[in-house]
Amino acid sequence: MGAALYAVPVQANPSSRLTCFMMEAIITAVTTAKDEVTFLMLE
């Protein structure tokens, strides 16, 4: 889902790849944090 959000901008502007990479890293970190919080709440 996340990749679709910046597939078009990357094609239009290759120099935005770094920004997309950073966004993906942030999304991954947030998702991981959510999973850890959920896991802690379940315990």
Q: Angle, nearest 10°, between helix axes 17-42 and 2-12?
A: 170
10 contacts: CB under 8 Å, gap ≥ 6? 16, 17, 20
pLDDT in tens, 2-20: 555 555 555 556 667 778 7
pLDDT for res 1: 47
Which phi and psi angles does 23 have, rounded to 5°? -60, -45
Q: What's the Cα-to-Cα distance from 2 to each of 18, 30, 39, rounded to whole Å?
A: 15, 12, 23
Q: How many CB atoms lie within 10 A of CB 14?
A: 8
The model's pTM = 0.49
